[in-house]
Chains A and B, each alone.
Chain A
Amino acid sequence: MANNILDVKELKTYYRTRLKEKVYAVDGVNFDLEEGKTIGIAGESGCGKSTLALSLMGFYFPPLHFGSGSINVNGVDIMTLSKENLRKKVLGREIAYIPQAAMNALNPTIKIIRFIEDIMKEHRPELTKKQVYDMAAERFETLNLSPKVLNSYPNELSGGMKQRTVIAISTILNPKVLIADEPTSALDVTSQKVVIKLLKDLLEKKFIRSLVFITHELPLLYHVTDEIMVMYAGEIVERGKADEVIFDPVHPYTKKLMGSIIVPEMGMKDHKLAAIPGAPPNLKKKIEGCRFADRCSYTTDACRQGKVSTQQIEHRMYRCIFDSETLKGWHANEA
């Protein structure tokens, strides 16, 4: 078996509200990622995608708290490390993160090169300023970014350019895993393509080994990642190869999510755009049974009882009480 670069077991993290309630935004997530593979996380707003990303990084700042479970990055359980060690040894070197609002992540009063100098001061203190500049310029050059960017201020760059600069800065130490949280949601299609190309370049040139890509744009995931995980209300409801999940979904939620895809293709107008009725459940309350039961069209009484465990068929994983053949039969009938 290949080396698992990321191994998450029964991870639970919660937000503590002002009334001291615990809201489990990530509730019992299990997944692993092999070295050299890419995985996409999809789901509605508020399903816990971004919280999962923060949790993987060990970013626990109130109101977010760590509940239970383990996160192994390259064989090291990051929850056993001190904050200082986590920052020095893991973040940036093993695992790096691009936040959702990467465009606002740059301090507008500082030149781009200063951000890189900052990182190097911490991680490679032996380098001189000149060496850092040369290294950064070389890296920017290989990624088809002009080295001129290094000497400009963030507000001089366009949105797509800023996003690419943030990606280049966060991968400067060659981290093993890059977690990209909606890196293209604020960009138009042309800039989106350039950003995706940059991520693919990074993988190809082995500056990063694996990628966790979070988005709600399913057609994009289909082209970028090997596998797709679908999250709903803090749980992973389905995982499988990208083309299987998109064209042959098992879980009713995934099936409905596919109904909201719009692409400019022949025959697209015949397909009825279907919104999922209702809203995701309130996670403050304890939910008995399947979390999707209220919005699912196949709900029976059995769905609302007991915890729904996951079923595994080869590499395919889904969380439903029915078996995949029954579900696929129903999906086919509905169409």
Chain B
Amino acid sequence: MKPNQEILISGRNVTKVFGYGKNKNTAVDHVNFDFHRGEIISIVGESGSGKTTLAKIVMGLLKETSGEIEYKGTPRKLKSHRDRKAYWQDIQAIFQDPFSSFNLFHKVEKLLNDCIELQGLKLSREERFEKMKEACTFVNLKYEELYNKYPFELSGGQMQRLMIARIFLLHPKVLLADEPTSMVDACSRSTILDMLLKLRDENEMTIIFITHDVGLAYYVSDTIYIMEKGKIVEAGNADDVLMNPQHPYTQQLISDVPKLHEEWDLG
């Protein structure tokens, strides 16, 4: 599926500075981006390159120091609680560590129920049950076995899938996936990617992957942004950027990945 040309989120000169004076640290430095509807974007970079900070700014969890972010063509508003709630109905995230993304005191039933409530839907008990069951079936979990469990009773892979079940219930317009597969093994990684791609095809969701896994970025994404020290050094179509890298940092990043049909230069 090709992404269409409608720009959903765009940023101009987005900058985030932590600290001040001597300890000033620019985590995100004049970054420009345009995320389209239905597009899969990967932001790739090594640890400490500012990719998670950028993700938090897009998510609205951190306030940018300077720069403008537009959502659906108008400047993003996050001032009041109502604005934020409306924004978060459209944009959702999956984080790296599934163990710390759930409230430990709530059972799975409540966790999923909260998603239905966030949308402000008024549903009967049976309709809710049907919805939650459908979401669990989508991610190959059995709702009957799970609803009475606490998150810590599940395995890492199960939790990550439950996270996707929540996304399925909420069907947001934008999904931010911050290293969604770095804590699971290669097999679960394929399962999770499969599900996310299926969601994209169904709802025309924009997915933003934050990752250091260049292979994953190449496999799933339409557009790639390479970040180094807070700056975007190269951006463009995934095939063009990764098969024909121009910037020295991109070239080095790609040579660092062990491949199957090429020698791995340990230099």
**A contact residues vs B (CB 8 Å cutoff):** 44-46, 158-159, 186-193, 196-197, 200, 216-220, 222-223, 246-247, 257, 259-266, 268-269, 273-276
Contact = CB atoms under 8 A, between A and B. Distances in A.
A219 B258 CA distance: 6
B215 A263 contact: yes
Given A197-B266, A260-B190, A268 B215 contact: yes
B156 A193 contact: no
B203 interface: no
A188 B46 contact: yes
Given A218-B186, A222-B260, A264-B215, A191 B242 contact: no
Interface string B180-208: 00101111111101100000000000000
Contacts of B188: 44-45, 275
A45 B184 contact: yes
A120 to B, nearest CB: 31
Contact of A274 (B190, B218, B254, B266): B190
Interface of B: 46-47, 155-157, 182, 184-191, 193-194, 212-219, 239, 242-243, 252-254, 256-262, 264, 266
B223 to A, nearest CB: 14
Given A45-B188, A265-B260, A191 B47 contact: yes
A262 B216 contact: yes
Contacts of A266: 243
Given A159-B47, A188-B47, A188-B212, A264 B186 contact: no
Given A264-B242, A265-B261, A273-B190, A193 B256 contact: yes
A207 to B, nearest CB: 17
B146 to A, nearest CB: 14
22 contacts: A45-B184, A159-B47, A186-B182, A188-B46, A188-B212, A189-B253, A189-B257, A191-B47, A192-B256, A200-B266, A216-B185, A217-B186, A260-B190, A261-B260, A263-B215, A264-B217, A264-B218, A264-B242, A264-B259, A269-B218, A269-B219, A273-B193
B261 to A, nearest CB: 6
B258 A190 contact: no
A13 B200 CA distance: 44
Contacts of A275: 187-188, 190-191, 194
B242 A276 contact: no
A38 B25 CA distance: 43
Contacts of B156: 45
A273 to B, nearest CB: 5
Nearest to B267: A197
B157 A45 contact: yes
A41 to B, nearest CB: 13
Given A45-B156, A260-B189, A263-B215, 12 more contacts: A187-B47, A188-B47, A189-B212, A189-B256, A193-B256, A196-B266, A200-B266, A216-B186, A222-B258, A261-B186, A264-B259, A275-B190
A268 B266 contact: no
Contacts of A268: 215, 218-219
A193 B46 CA distance: 12
A158 B48 CA distance: 10
Contacts of B213: 189, 262
Given A45-B157, A189-B212, A189-B253, A260 B266 contact: no
Given A219-B258, A261-B260, A189 B214 contact: yes
B215 A190 contact: no
A123 to B, nearest CB: 31
B264 A223 contact: yes
A191 B252 CA distance: 12
Contacts of A263: 215, 257-260
Given A188-B212, A189-B257, A223-B258, A262 B219 contact: yes
A139 B123 CA distance: 67
A8 B137 CA distance: 43
A261 to B, nearest CB: 7
A264 B214 contact: yes
Contacts of A260: 186-187, 189-190
Nearest to A217: B186
Nearest to B192: A275
The interface centre, meaning the residue of A45, A259, A269 with most chain B CB atoms within 10 A of its CB, is: A45
A44 B243 CA distance: 30
